[in-house]
Amino acid sequence: MFLNRRQALVASAAVMAPMIANAKLPAHAKIHCPFSAGATVDMVCRQLAEQLRGKLAETVIVENRTGAGGLLAIDALVRSPADGLTLMVHGGAIQSVFPHTMPKLPYDPFKDVAPVSMTHQLEYGFAVGPAIPESVRTLNEFLAWVRSNPKGGAFATPGAGTPLHFVPMVVSQSSKVDLVPVHYRGSSAAMPDILGGQVPAISTALSDLVPFLADGKVRMLATSGPTRNSLTRNTPTYAEQGFPEVTAVAYNAVFVQGDTARAKQEEISSMVRAALATEPVRVAFEKAYIKPYGCTPSEALTEGRAGYKRWGKVVKAVGYVPAQ
């Protein structure tokens, strides 16, 4: 079979088109993760990397930059080229809370990093373990019990200077009940002491507590959302129990280097939101008790600035003094 000149050109173009398209796609991109492998945020990073492969770059890898309270991952992002090929998934707290709790913040939260989309939202939960009597089923019952048992007011947190530390402290101030934080390096490190009865209560992400509720060893007393969470419908919110000032919803987001061109930020945001809408991501998130939640760069930035003002007031109100 012989092709005429026109047929040959068409055939050649059909062969060359995907080659040209691939040539335009960068070879490598990376996503920095501030947590170790196996953590929820690590799962989020790996799901996004899989979905962005072949779109953002031919290969997208996850680098776990753990340590220094999440600052190592931020430093790696800030030092990267502003070409949109280095991403980071981190908590919105790097813009809203860290500036108020770290005396020498090594980055500008609104210049050095830029959020392009949220990945998911999460609420906080307050739960008690076997150290607290079975009869205690609500936050107010817990506070009443602590009034009668002052040494029982300790609660675990996954880290000092975090919203999970501050939420019970606001309750403590409002109720005039002495609650004392016990800080751990993550909620997974704290759970053995909760289950063993060494620490009575814990304030952590709701998604971290749900797996422990089924056998009754851990009882959820309050959640931080504006309405009851679908995962714990029988648990009233802080607001329902008389603490409306504790209503709070956290989020994680995809960040790029702050000097990344606005058009590139919008492009990456669209890719991330498309990834979050895929069935594999939905299923993976559901197993981790979280729901995909994407947004535009403008929406993410607006939330970051609002959180900065909100948490600044909270940190001041509870009298938190950062370690020097």
Of 18-22, 105-109, 257-261, 289-293, least confident by mean pLDDT is 18-22
Mean pLDDT of 118-127: 96
The answer to whether the beta carbons of residues 300 and 71 sit under 8 Å apart is no
Residue 197 has pLDDT above 90, yes or no: yes
3-class secondary-structure state, position 115: strand
State the DSSP code for 36: -
pLDDT at 137: 95
pLDDT at 6: 46
Residue 80 has pLDDT above 90, yes or no: yes
Q: Which amino acid is at 189?
A: A
What pTM does this model have? 0.85
What residue spans of the chain are helical by DSSP H? Answer: 5-24, 40-52, 71-78, 93-96, 98-101, 139-148, 163-175, 187-195, 206-209, 262-276, 279-287, 297-318
What is the per-residue burial (b if ≥16 Cβ within 10 Å, else e) of 231-269?
bbeebbbbbebebebbbbebbbbbbbbbebeeebbebbb
What is the pairing mode between strands 249-257 and 180-183?
unpaired
pLDDT at 8: 46
pLDDT at 185: 81
Tens digits of per-residue pLDDT, 8-44? 444 444 444 444 445 589 999 999 999 888 888 999 9
Residue 120 has pLDDT above 90, yes or no: yes
Percent of the chain past pLDDT 70, that is, above it, reads 92
Q: How far is CA 131 from CA 11, 82, 89, 138, 222, in A?
A: 75, 51, 36, 15, 17
3-class secondary-structure state, position 281: helix
Structural domains in the chain plus CATH codes: 5-121+251-318 (3.40.190.150), 123-246 (3.40.190.10)
How much is the mean pLDDT over the chain? 91
Rounded to an integer, what distance in angstroms lies between the CA atom of residue 324 and that of residue 147? 33
Percent of the chain past pLDDT 90, that is, above it, reads 81
- Lookup result for tokens 């600044």: 312
The number of helix segments (H) and strand segments (E) in the chain equals 12, 10
